[in-house]
Structures are given as structure tokens and as C-alpha cells.
Structure 1
């Protein structure tokens, strides 16, 4: 099958996915009980060295309301970028809504599912109660997964800083909206007319050696409440790509 037919078929699936997804992918209604703690940082934001590979994006995304999560939620990296509503359950000390956090790292404390940035942890507390909550160190919480929202942003492919033009390309997806996981990434190999799988290096980072020298078309597999679908980002990365630059996919997952 030629690239045009391949891409037409995949685009049709993507269009169907985009139409159906809002109706099928609804936020989880029930909360799951767990525990949370926090980590320190000079500015109370996230860390640029998290296990998801986001770099500076992982420090500042969502205003710094971010979290490292346990292995079960990290999902070997496919849980990176997921959003959760987290609220603590200490009477008279915790807010009703808690805080919305984005997963940017992997880490486990004392039987915790979440290690929050200090900024996020403080937002669990009622006004003037943050110091008391911090004094606990670890608190009982409940959480649920919710759709991520990035108004004004499409999904973007950032070329990881470790990439080396032209022989090694690593990409990380940022501004991943909706409530789904990216579980596979492939690029179109024009010379042999087929999709070539990228390796899941770690976290949200996917890489490949000897990428095509032309403009790169990517397709990625998403898994969520709507099932598993492929989406195609045509000409997603220019032929003369540069490490550290993020390229707009012109797509969004929700």
C-alpha cells in the first residue's frame, strides 16, 4: 500500500477518533484513596531532570503544579503527561477540590502514589493551613484522573537535547491534552514505503537512529476510553531539525 493510501486511512481513523473522543473519554468519576508527600525545590516548582524527559517544560508546565508518581501510575513512562485531581482528606485542613497536577516524574515515598511539588502540596490546604500540612510530611489523599487542558496549544514534538543531527533523533511529546496515553510512535520511511517504529527510550522520550533526511511524518498510537487509535502528524518535523526545538503537530488529542 502506498503512503497516500496509508496516510488517508490513518487520517480517517484520526478524524473518527477526534469526533468520538469527547463523547467517550470522560473524566474518571470515582476517587482512589492513597497517600502523598512533597519534594523541595528552590522555587517550589517542578524539576527539569524528571524521569519523563521533559526538561524545563517539566519544571513549569501547569504553573509548576506537577507530581512524581508511583510505578503503577508512571506505567513505564506512558503515564507521563497525565493529569490528576488530588485532594487530601484531613478534616478542616484540606480544600474540597485540592489541586490538579501533571505527571512529570517517577518517584515513591512512604507508601505514596504522589510526590507533589511544594507548590502543589500547599494547594491541598485550606487558607493559612499550608504550614500545618507541610508539617505532616505525608498525608492521606484521594485522586482521580482528569483530562489535561492546554488552551491555545496543539500537541508538540520537542526534539530532545540529546538528539544529534542527522544520525540520531529523540522526540518528546508536550502539551498532550485529553485523557489518554501515547503507547507507540512510528515514522514514515519513504524509501521503503513503510512505517518504522521508534524505540520507547524512557519516560515520554521516543528515539530512532538514522532517521529520514527528508521532512518527517510521524504517527502515534493513543490509548484511552475510546480504545486504541492511530493519529498521523504529516510533515511534523522539518528535514533540518534542531535539538531543543519544539515543532507544532497541528493536532490535539481532545
Structure 2
């Protein structure tokens, strides 16, 4: 039998590809353990666009008064964030979704307020700057919606601006968080109610989803945000080696396989081998 013409072969192949594409389009989308659509977004976190805002400062010259707050961090010094931190206004905070994200901030358009010759400072969002509705947004109520405002720790503020200025115009953008070592996990609570603190997250730094899986009976279970970077579940996680899967705001994912041993303890911090 003579082989079919080359043109016919090509046509058949194109028809098969098109048919497969239609079938796939009508099929179910891949989901995460919690039911979210899987986004195939690979590579590294890239910096966002520069945006205008204003910056103030809070706490002491040594960063005192800034090492805890609305993100759930207990001590930013001990947890690796130091005092290069910022409390962001509610518009940026997003009910805790911004916690752990990193920002590059530079002072602009204020000859008397900006420090001459300084470039920018990189800070991590670790707290909320609450609104003050007793004052207007342009006179004291700096963090009132819809303002995008950055309330820097005093050590961070003094790297780019004069203390006497109090408030300065800035340009800021999201940047990748550069971390040493792997992602860290600390579980507090009890076997009936677990709160998982996730720290030292690289890449985007913030988290959009957290799931856990045990080595025996616990199947993939999605945790709920309790507050900031503290995530909760009522699943009994005791007596099992635990694996965590994270998704950052840019849809990138990391899985910390068996990061907690079978005999893990409440209040102890365990570090994964990898990071974003």
C-alpha cells in the first residue's frame, strides 16, 4: 500500500492536536489540596513597579517597640528579620496577607527631609499601621484608607531620612526577600487546635496558602490564616512526621518534606532544607 501524501499526514496531526486542546479545555483544572487552581508559574520573584507613598517612623532608635505586632511575630530579631521592618497601612496589609513581604523604599522630593547621598532601604512587613480616623488622611491620619503608607522602624527610617522631618515622600516597590537557610515552622497550641507560625520565607516572602500532610493518618489539609503569618488547623498533628506546602502571593510553591520529625514538640522551631 502506498504511504499517504505528506500534506495529509500534517493535516491529521494538526487535527489531533486541536482535538486534544479542545478536550483539555473542557476538562477539570488541576487543584491544590485546598481546592485552589494550580498556577504553573516558575522562576524567581521579580521586583514590582515603583509607586509613590509617604513614610513615617515608630518605636525607638534601637528598634524597640517594633519587634512584635499584628503579623504574629514574637521577636523579629530572634526570627531573623532584625529591625529592618515596616508597619504598613490597612490597604497594603490586606488582613495579614502582606506579612513577610519585602519592600525597597527610597526618600524622594524632600531636600530637607531626605538624607543626601543615600540610596534605599529594604524592609520586611511585620506589623500593621492602624488608621486614625480622629485625624484626616493628610494631617496625622497617615494610615487611613485609601492611603498606601509605610511606617518604618526608626533605624530603617533614619537610613534614608532626617528624624526631624517626621514624614517624607517616598517611592517604594515590592522586592524579593533574601533569606539564609530554609523556611522555619513553629507549632503552638495543643493537639486539638494547632497554630503554625511560618518564618524566614524567601522569594515573595508573604503567604497565600499553607497545607500540611502527616506521614500516617493526616492527609493533605489546608490551614486557615489565624492572623498574620500564623495559620491554624483543628487536625490532630501529633505523633506524625509533618510536611508543609506553601504558596506565596505570586503563586510559587515550595514543599518542606518531613520538616517536623515524628516526635516534634510544641513551641520548638524546625527548619526546612530549602527556601523559595
TM-score of the aligned structures, taking structure 2 as reference length: 0.71
In structure 2, which of residues 120, 123, 126 is the aligned counterpart of residue 101 of structure 1?
123
1:120 pairs with 2:156: yes
Q: C-alpha distance in 2, partners of 1:197/1:62?
A: 26
Residue aligning to 1:218: 244
Deviation at 1:58, TM superposition (A): 5.9
Gaps of 5+ in 1: 1-5, 8-12, 126-132
TM superposition shift of 1:91: 2.2
Larger Rg over CA atoms: 2
CA RMSD, aligned part only?
Answer: 2.8
**Partners of 2:193 and 2:256 in 1: CA distance:** 20
1:111 to 142, 148, 162: 142
Partner of 2:207: 182
- Where 1:56 maps in the other structure, the secondary structure is coil
Question: Cα offset for 1:96?
Answer: 4.1
C-alpha displacement of 1:41 = 3.0
What does 1:99-178 correspond to in 2, within 5 Å? 99-108=121-130, 110-112=141-143, 113-125=149-161, 133-151=162-180, 153-160=181-188, 163-164=189-190, 166-178=191-203
Gap regions ≥5 residues in structure 2:
1-30, 33-37, 132-140, 144-148
* SS in structure 2 at match of 1:64: coil
More strand by share: 1
Match of 1:27 in 2: 47
Q: Is the CA contact (8 Å cut-off) linking 1:78 and 1:182 kept in structure 2?
A: yes
Q: Report the Cα offset of residue 209 of structure 1.
A: 2.0
Q: CA deviation at 1:21?
A: 1.4
Q: Deviations over 1:116-157 (max 9, x none)?
A: 1111111113xxxxxxx2222211111111111123x11111
Partner SS for 2:76:
helix
TM-score where L is the length of structure 1: 0.77
1:47/1:59 contact within 8 Å kept:
no
